[in-house]
């Protein structure tokens, strides 16, 4: 059992190493090396999950070498949550690797891309299985660097370069407090082992629970793209779509949520931290919902949607229900990966990533029927319409919030319950609205015929149907199987929240539909469009070009001046602000980027003008002396000999004077 | 013979040589003056050797040996010196030390007036020099 579990993160790692080594010398091995390790890891993770069965926690550790005061051990800690999340990670990673073989089939950098995705998968599995916080941190940082490289896959475009740097710096901004928080936690608990930390918390052994929880929360906010550190995620969409699906939707951004779920008792030890968590979740949910409604790039809509759904998970954690949080993590991982992969197919077929341009194409749905049907299903799951999986997971979150709000529990403050419940219902309305808008604009366009790019590769469409299964059916496990793996708490939807939640979702959808009917007439009158220049290229190339041409065509990365957009009608004057993410980027530019750049200018000035002045001054005196001495070089030999003679005479006289003692 | 006579003579010889080195403009004469100085030193070596060996019981006459040495080296040196002067004269058409100022600070070898003015002349004298040498 332990060996199997160790092999799960190890196999993709070996695959990554082999892929990097053989990428140039043996191109034929690259695709098998990319697909097989995650596939085997998926099988092993499934075996581990079934054997674990939610009962006995696998808890093994080995200490490689003594590391001083607080020991660091290679430890496994596999409870039901870890087992199921690992299955999800391996599943989505396998799907993405298969999809990438078609998506990036002509890409010259495919070998390194596949190896990095494998390395990322291995790091995420390490985070999921690790029982030691420092080992977990290692996986956490490897994921960060993989994300940096993969977002910058199209480093020829300035958008990708800027986005990869931004993603790296913003997440690091959270990771520094995270590291300090881990140290503080280990100092208080006396160990980095999760089991020992949880023991210490259970016996009231933490001296500074609020400080530790808030420090850890900063890292979680950076990784899971929660307000106020969420700004990197929409820009990270400059990476290839499979990367967005795997890293920026299904797995890596869920690592923060998963981390809190693992250490929930640490957070529960501080009521203040739980309220902060709830406020963070509420702001994230509502803000991202509004922003998603105003985005023009289809992938940015999905990115803001991811931020919002992660907000649901943190909300569930704020009310102390990690079962609901991880359940939503699982179902969201499946349907959001599906949404992104389908969006990749749609972008390829349409030759653009702009919803405004898609809304002027007729019959896009007929061009890509697989993407159309699976995306419809995933959007229904996203909008939490029964009986799709999103409904069950979202209702379990809302149910938990309602449970806490009505004061049935002592482990979470009632305020957190109310905040999460109200924000969750509002966000459900917004989610349904932007899901409907996305679907209507992408697939119900009017205007010219959509361009024909031939059939999509089988690897790309097949994966969509594979991912569609859990999006559809995961909810069915709510009643029987899932609670065994989780804490055993009830996950079934309660009547009140189900009715209210589904009701607001329907209202959101219907209002958006009405707005769309209202604006549809304008669509034909305002021609818009930025379509990629090389529609015959592979999907990755089309997408890179679509992202690169969006700003020249519309003047902004996220915004299109489309009067026919139902989101514009719904948001009214808010639309302008929502499209740019409520000016948070501008605020951060004014608050942090400009001061740092001004500081850099100051340092440059000090170096160039002050320090170098001293250096130059030190050099000036010898140069003057040298100039004076050079004057003596007349080139006349006899002058030199005369000087020599004069010197000799002077020396001789001096010696004589000294010798005679005068 | 008293030591004062050769010592004074060598001092006179040395001063004459020194004056020649400092004041003469022709390189050949400068070399000759250098020879005078060398020989003044030789004279000193011999005189002092004789004076010292008179008091000693046994002597190797190292002063005289050194003189022979100096004469041999001076012969070689003057050969090389004269060859250099000859080569300079062939190139520049002159052996005037005052005009050979190529090592002066700020001297630009490309726009040297000496070079520009004396180049054809030098070539001509070079030919004649070679002709003389072969003849």
* Nearest in space to A452 (alpha carbons), one of A535, A352, A342, A371: A535
Q: Do A592 and A499 reside in the same domain of the chain?
A: no
**Candidate from B21, B23, B107 with C-beta closest to A635:** B107
* Nearest in space to B98 (alpha carbons), one of A635, A99, A342: A635
Answer yes or no: do A636 and B21 touch at CB < 8 A. Answer: no
Residue A143 is assigned to a structural domain of this protein: no
To the nearest whole number, what is the mean pLDDT of chain A? 84
pLDDT per position as a tens digit, A12-58: 899 889 888 887 787 788 888 888 888 999 999 888 888 877 677 77
Domains (range + CATH), chain B: 4-134 (1.10.287.3510)
Distance from CA of A612 to the nearest CA of B (A): 29
Residue B39: predicted pLDDT: 94
Q: Do A331 and A464 reside in the same domain of the chain?
A: yes
pLDDT above 50 (res A221): yes
Q: Which chain A residues are closer than 8 Å to B88 by Cβ?
A: none
- Helices (H) and strands (E) in chain A — how many of each? 30, 4
Residue A141 is assigned to a structural domain of this protein: no
* Structure confidence at residue A578 as a pLDDT band (50, 70, 90): confident
Q: For strand A58-62 and strand A74-78, is the pairing parallel, antiparallel, or unpaired?
A: antiparallel
CA distance to A43, A98, A230, B1, per residue, from A459 (Å): 20, 6, 32, 120
Residue A149 is assigned to a structural domain of this protein: no
Q: At what angle do helices A209-223 and A158-189 cross, to 10 degrees?
A: 160
Answer yes or no: do B22 and A645 touch at CB < 8 A. Answer: yes
pLDDT above 50 (res B118): no
Residue B130: predicted pLDDT: 44
pLDDT per position as a tens digit, A407-449: 766 667 778 888 888 898 999 999 999 999 888 888 887 777 7
Q: Do A479 and A421 reside in the same domain of the chain?
A: yes
pLDDT per position as a tens digit, A538-577: 666 667 777 666 666 666 666 666 777 777 777 778 877 8
Residue A389 is assigned to a structural domain of this protein: yes
* Structure confidence at residue B134 as a pLDDT band (50, 70, 90): very low
Range of the structural domain that residue A661 is part of: 632-662
Residue B133: predicted pLDDT: 44
User: pLDDT > 90: what percent of chain A?
Assistant: 16
Q: Do A512 and A538 reside in the same domain of the chain?
A: yes
Q: Which chain B residues are closer than 8 Å to A631 by Cβ?
A: 105
Q: Do A538 and A617 reside in the same domain of the chain?
A: no
Residue A112 is assigned to a structural domain of this protein: no
pLDDT above 80 (res A629): yes
* Structure confidence at residue B14 as a pLDDT band (50, 70, 90): very high
Residue A195 is assigned to a structural domain of this protein: no
Residue A362, phi-psi category: left (phi > 0), alpha (psi -120 to 50), beta (remainder): beta
Answer yes or no: do A645 and B107 touch at CB < 8 A. Answer: no
Closest residue of chain B to A640, computed from CA coordinates: B22
Distance from CA of B123 to the nearest CA of A (A): 24
* Structure confidence at residue A81 as a pLDDT band (50, 70, 90): confident
Answer yes or no: do B22 and A638 touch at CB < 8 A. Answer: yes
Q: Do A648 and A598 reside in the same domain of the chain?
A: no
Residue A559 is assigned to a structural domain of this protein: yes
Q: Do A491 and A605 reside in the same domain of the chain?
A: no
ipTM, 2 dp: 0.71
User: pLDDT > 70: what percent of chain A?
Assistant: 91
Q: Do A310 and A458 reside in the same domain of the chain?
A: yes
Q: Do A530 and A479 reside in the same domain of the chain?
A: yes
**Candidate from B21, B23, B105 with C-beta closest to A630:** B105
Residue A365: predicted pLDDT: 80
Number of structural domains chain A divides into: 3
Top pLDDT among A630 and B65 is at: B65
Q: Which range, of A369-378, A502-511, A528-537, A632-641, averages the lowest pLDDT?
A: A528-537
Residue B120: predicted pLDDT: 47
pLDDT above 60 (res B114): no
Largest CA distance in chain A: 122
Q: Which chain B residues are closer than 8 Å to A638 by Cβ?
A: 21-23, 97-98
Q: Which chain A residues are closer than 8 Å to B97 by Cβ?
A: 636-638
* Structure confidence at residue A250 as a pLDDT band (50, 70, 90): confident
A631, A638, A643: best to mutate for the B interface, most B CBs within 10 A: A638
Q: Which chain B residues are closer than 8 Å to A630 by Cβ?
A: 105-106
Answer yes or no: do A641 and B107 touch at CB < 8 A. Answer: no
pLDDT per position as a tens digit, A441-496: 888 877 777 666 667 778 888 888 888 888 887 777 777 677 777 776 777 777 88
What is the interface size between A and B, counted as CB pairs within 8 Å? 33
The residues on A that touch B, with CB distances below 8 Å, are 630-638, 641-642, 645
Q: Do A506 and A639 reside in the same domain of the chain?
A: no
Q: Do A543 and A614 reside in the same domain of the chain?
A: no
Other CB atoms within 10 Å distance of the CB of residue A208 = 16
Two tokens, residue A196: 């020992």
Cβ-contact A80, A52 below 8 angstroms: yes
Answer yes or no: do A635 and B105 touch at CB < 8 A. Answer: yes
Distance from CA of A629 to the nearest CA of B (A): 10
Sign (positive/negative) of CA torsion A509, A515, A518, A522?
Answer: negative
Residue A61 is assigned to a structural domain of this protein: no
* Structure confidence at residue A199 as a pLDDT band (50, 70, 90): confident
Q: Do A373 and A457 reside in the same domain of the chain?
A: yes
Q: Which chain B residues are closer than 8 Å to A646 by Cβ?
A: none
């Amino acid at each position: 059992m332990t060996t199997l579990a160790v092999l799960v993160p190890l196999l993709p790692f070996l695959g990554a190493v082999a892929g990097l080594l053989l990428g140039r010398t043996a191109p034929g091995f690259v695709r098998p090396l990319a697909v097989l390790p995650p596939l085997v890891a998926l099988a092993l993770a499934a075996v581990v999950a079934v054997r674990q069965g939610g009962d006995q926690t696998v808890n093994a550790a080995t200490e490689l070498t003594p590391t001083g005061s607080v020991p660091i051990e290679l430890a496994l800690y596999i409870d039901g949550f870890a087992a199921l999340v690992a299955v999800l990670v391996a599943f989505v990673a396998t799907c993405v690797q298969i999809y990438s073989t078609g998506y990036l089939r002509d890409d010259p950098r495919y070998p390194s891309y596949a190896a990095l995705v494998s390395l990322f998968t291995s790091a995420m599995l390490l985070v999921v299985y690790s029982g030691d916080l420092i080992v977990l941190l290692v996986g956490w940082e490897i994921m960060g660097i993989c994300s940096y490289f993969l977002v910058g896959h199209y480093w020829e475009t300035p958008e990708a370069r800027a986005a990869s740097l931004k993603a790296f710096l913003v997440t690091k901004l959270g990771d520094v407090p995270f590291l300090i928080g881990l140290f503080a936690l280990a100092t208080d608990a006396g160990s980095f082992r999760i089991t020992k930390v949880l023991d210490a918390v259970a016996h009231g052994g933490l001296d500074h629970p609020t400080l530790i929880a808030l420090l850890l929360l900063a890292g979680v906010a950076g990784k899971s793209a929660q307000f106020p550190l969420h700004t990197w995620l929409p820009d990270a969409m400059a990476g290839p779509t499979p990367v967005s699906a795997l890293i920026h939707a299904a797995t890596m951004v869920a690592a923060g949520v998963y981390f809190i779920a693992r250490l929930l008792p640490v957070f529960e030890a501080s009521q203040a931290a739980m309220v902060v968590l709830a406020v963070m979740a509420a702001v994230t949910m509502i803000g991202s919902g509004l922003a998603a409604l105003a985005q023009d790039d289809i992938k940015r809509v999905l990115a803001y949607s991811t931020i919002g759904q992660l907000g649901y998970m943190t909300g569930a954690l704020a009310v102390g229900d990690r079962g609901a949080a991880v359940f939503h993590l699982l179902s969201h991982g499946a349907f959001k990966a599906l949404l992104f992969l389908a969006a990749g197919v749609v972008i390829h077929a349409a030759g653009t990533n702009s919803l405004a341009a898609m809304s002027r194409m007729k019959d896009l749905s007929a061009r890509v029927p697989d993407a159309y049907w699976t995306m419809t299903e995933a959007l229904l799951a996203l909008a939490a319409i029964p009986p799709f999986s999103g409904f069950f997971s979202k209702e379990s979150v809302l149910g938990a919030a309602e449970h806490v709000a009505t004061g049935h529990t002592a482990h979470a403050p009632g305020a957190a319950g109310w905040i999460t419940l109200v924000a969750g219902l509002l966000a459900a309305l917004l989610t349904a609205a932007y899901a409907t808008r996305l679907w209507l604009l992408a697939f119900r366009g009017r205007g010219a015929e959509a361009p024909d790019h031939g059939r999509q590769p089988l690897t790309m469409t097949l994966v969509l149907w594979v991912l569609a299964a859990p999006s559809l059916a995961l909810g069915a496990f709510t009643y029987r199987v899932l609670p065994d793996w989780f804490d055993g708490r009830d996950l079934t939807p309660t009547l009140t929240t189900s009715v209210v939640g589904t009701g607001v979702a329907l209202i959101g959808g219907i209002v958006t539909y009405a707005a769309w009917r209202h604006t549809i007439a304008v669509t034909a009158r305002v021609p818009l469009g930025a379509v990629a220049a090389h529609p015959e290229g592979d999907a990755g190339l089309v997408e890179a070009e679509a992202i690169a041409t969006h700003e020249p065509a519309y003047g902004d990365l996220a915004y299109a001046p489309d009067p026919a957009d139902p989101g514009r009608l719904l948001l009214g004057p808010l639309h302008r602000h929502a499209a740019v993410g409520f000016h948070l980027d501008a605020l951060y530019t004014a608050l942090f980027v400009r001061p740092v750049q001004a500081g850099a200018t100051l340092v440059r000035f000090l170096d160039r003008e002050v320090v170098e002045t001293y250096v130059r001054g030190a050099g000036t005196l010898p140069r003057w002396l040298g100039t004076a001495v050079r004057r003596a070089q007349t080139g006349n030999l006899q002058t030199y000999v005369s000087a020599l003679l004069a010197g000799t005479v002077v020396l001789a006289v001096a010696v004589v004077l000294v010798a005679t003692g005068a | 013979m008293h030591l004062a006579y050769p010592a004074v003579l060598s001092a006179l010889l040395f001063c004459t040589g020194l004056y020649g080195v400092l004041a003469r403009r022709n390189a050949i004469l400068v070399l000759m003056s250098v020879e005078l100085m060398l020989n003044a030193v030789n004279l000193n070596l011999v005189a002092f050797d004789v004076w010292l060996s008179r008091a000693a019981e046994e002597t190797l006459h190292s002063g005289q040996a050194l003189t022979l040495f100096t004469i041999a080296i001076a012969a070689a040196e003057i050969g090389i010196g004269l060859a250099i002067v000859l080569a300079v004269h062939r190139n520049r058409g002159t052996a005037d030390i005052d005009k050979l100022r190529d090592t002066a600070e700020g001297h630009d070898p490309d726009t040297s007036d000496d070079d520009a003015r004396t180049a054809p002349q030098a070539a001509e004298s070079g030919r004649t020099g070679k002709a003389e040498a072969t003849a």
